[in-house]
Amino acid sequence: MGDVLKRNGFNNIVTLVCGDGPDIGNALVQDKNVPLVSFTGSTAVGRHVAAEVAKRFGKTILELGGNNASIVMPDCDLEIAFNGSVFGAVGTCGQRCTSLRRLFLHESVYDSFVDRMVKAYPKLEAKMGNPLDDNTMVGPLHFKQSVDMYLNGVAEIKRQGGTILYGGKRVEGTEGNFVLPTIVSGIAHDAPIVMTEIFAPILYVFKFKTLDEVITWNNEVPQGLSSSLYTKDMQNMF
């Protein structure tokens, strides 16, 4: 088969199969003719995939969850930190494994930085729409279940002491699963909901005093994937 493809100018074939629900994924997981299954998604589903593929002695590549953080030091270029934080949190409507979930701000810049974000977020509504449009910055959530997870997450955030500085609502009167990008303050850095990946545009903002302190907070979540540090001081990188 490979020789036939190469003789006709094909080196590789990519097949995309779209489905509604888990049937297609389960078929791949159970099929002994698929020796390797690569899965990107939630930890819960990834655990199921790994167990099922292992039962038939197959192999897996799993990219599961992310609870990504940025640390903003007072010596950094605040303009770069601001633009990077906003786009990291709201780009792809928070549906990226490397989306920014937790923003740690030094106490000396916290108030002004958060105030600027709260003023900037309403402007994003004008850039909300079809993700295939180059002018769109915030698209819809993937499906209705994602909206429910977002709204349930917001409710749980409030129950655990968080304050919604902006957002926390579904966008009414639109066709599609649009929600407002959300900024949360006042919640504990180790609150149970903070330890959970909601996979939606919800950003927690925290105030810290020392770099050692905030690195500990950065590393306390069960998920991994990505972290970033905004600073001009090379000593902060070691």
The residues that are catalytic are 63, 97
Contact 144, 109 (CB under 8 A): no
For residue 106, report the phi and psi dihedrals to the nearest 5 degrees.
-60, 145
Q: Residue 187 to residues 7, 60, 91, 158: CA-CA distances in angstroms?
A: 61, 36, 23, 9
> In angstroms, rounded to a whole number, what is the distance separating the alpha carbons of residues 222 and 205?
19
Q: Residue 38 to residues 28, 53, 63, 131, 165: CA-CA distances in angstroms?
A: 10, 11, 8, 25, 38
Q: 71 forms bridges with which residues in the sheet? A: 104, 229
> In angstroms, rounded to a whole number, what is the distance separating the alpha carbons of residues 86 and 203?
9
Coil, helix or strand for 31? coil
